[in-house]
Amino acid sequence: PCDGAAVRSHDGAIPTMEEIICPPPAEGVLFVPAVVFGRDAPFELEIGCGKGGFLLRRAQARPDVNLLGIEWANKYFKFAADRMARWGIAHARVMRTDAGHFVRRHLPAECLAALHIYHPDPWPKKRHHRRRIFQPEFVAAAVRALAPGARWAVQNDHAQYFEWVQ
């Protein structure tokens, strides 16, 4: 539960929204969590963080973990970043980028302690299926990025897309 206590960074500062927003890496550059967060800790990624509800709860429950939420919708991305800053969550970042591209091109091997994907857009029309996050190249890259013993949590309420994911 949210009790109003701010989670401060290792140096005691409460982060600003600008510090929470993490720009996507340039082409050819790997995302190095220890550098981005300024500490070496287990790294978890949420794809499609929306307004940051799960990210906030996870950050409050796990101050020992570095968390990155990716959101494409600009309005929600800004809301999530503002939410993290208002709550003083220093070990979470929010990035606006194409999550599939980020996972395929920027994540180092075995860097993720957990990957969270909750209710990805099902793109139900057949002509749009190529837009779904779960594609063979994405799955292979995500598996490569998961550290041994890592957890991949997926939740979906669209029956046809659930079959696709399986």
What b/e sequence results for 96-112 when a residue is b if at least 16 CB atoms lie within 10 Å of its CB, and e otherwise?
bbebbebbbbbbeeebb
Catalytic residue among 40, 82, 98, 121: 121
For residue 147, what are the contacts with CB-CB under 8 A and spacing of at least 6?
110, 111, 112, 113
d(C-alpha 114, C-alpha 43), whole Å? 7
Q: Is 44 helix (H, G, I), strand (E, B) or coil?
A: strand
Annotated catalytic, 82? no
Structure tokens given for 55: 């990210």
Return d(Cα 9, Cα 73) in angstroms, integer. 27
Q: Which residues participate in catalysis according to the annotation? A: 121
